[in-house]
Amino acid sequence: MAELHVIGELTGASGFRRQSIFCKWYFAAGQAWELLEGQEGGQTQTDQPAKGSQSVWGHPIDAHFLCKGLTGWPKLHLEVWKQDKQGRCDICGYGFVHIPTAPGSYELECATWRPEGSRKEQWAAWCCGGNPQLVMEEVVHGPEDRYRLQTVPGGTVQLRLGIIMKDFGLHHVQTGSSLP
């Protein structure tokens, strides 16, 4: 069976103004995939950027997957939350990235979004915090219809990932070149 290594880090984020933000992440993969080593998910520290710089997490990711079939290729589910001075947390953005399907070294960016909510909810969120959240988070990376969802953009999350594959060639899987 083929193996996939995802080695890299959640480097940081931009476009979230100068708020204290953190990121919750986890791998979402199909049933043909098994995580052998490494963490399935985690949460970064809460970082506040200095003036003129971006948020930095430098959160390491080192995952080792066993692949029994190509369907359900792993995705990284990302949620960016902000924390205010009182320690209250509020959603700022949801997003996902596919793990690259060819070996190599990648700098990825994930633009995020969050539900807009009704006028009343927006007003309440402006007044006392509490942006509308998703009840079913699977909608972020799943194939479900999103037609009833109205969203606003969040910022961008940056990742640096190194992909190493083992025995894909032995199983006659062509991944192509990682070069653009």
Partner 1 sequence: MDSADCFTVYFTGQLSSVKIPGCKNAYCRYQVLHGEDWERLQGAEHGLTQLARGGRKQELVWNFPLELAYRSTNAHGWPQLIVSVYGFDGWGRDVIRGYGSAYLPTFSGRHKVKMHLFRPQSATTAQAFTGWLWGMQAEYADGAYPGCTEGRELTRTISAGQVNVEMTTMTKDMELYGYSDGAQPVSTRNGPA
Tell me which stretch binds partner 1 (CB under 8 A): 30-38, 114-122, 129-137, 142-150: 30-38
Binds partner 1 by CB under 8 A, chosen from 17, 39, 129, 138: 39
Angle at 46 between CA 125 and CA 150, to 5 degrees: 35
**Site membership for partner 1, residue 15 (CB under 8 A):** no
Residues of span 99-128 touching partner 1 by CB under 8 A: 102-105
* Residue type at position 26: Y
Cα gap 79→20, rounded to integer Å = 14
Cα gap 157→109, rounded to integer Å = 6
User: Of the candidates 162, 60, 25, which has an alpha carbon nearest to the alpha carbon of residue 102?
Assistant: 162
**Site membership for partner 1, residue 150 (CB under 8 A):** no
The residue behind tokens 């009833």 is: 148
Tell me which stretch binds partner 1 (CB under 8 A): 97-105, 117-125, 127-135, 148-156: 97-105
**Site membership for partner 1, residue 166 (CB under 8 A):** yes
Cα gap 20→38, rounded to integer Å = 27
**Site membership for partner 1, residue 160 (CB under 8 A):** yes
Interacting residues with partner 1 (CB under 8 A): 5, 7-9, 11-12, 20, 22, 36-39, 42-62, 64, 83, 102-105, 160, 162-170, 173-178
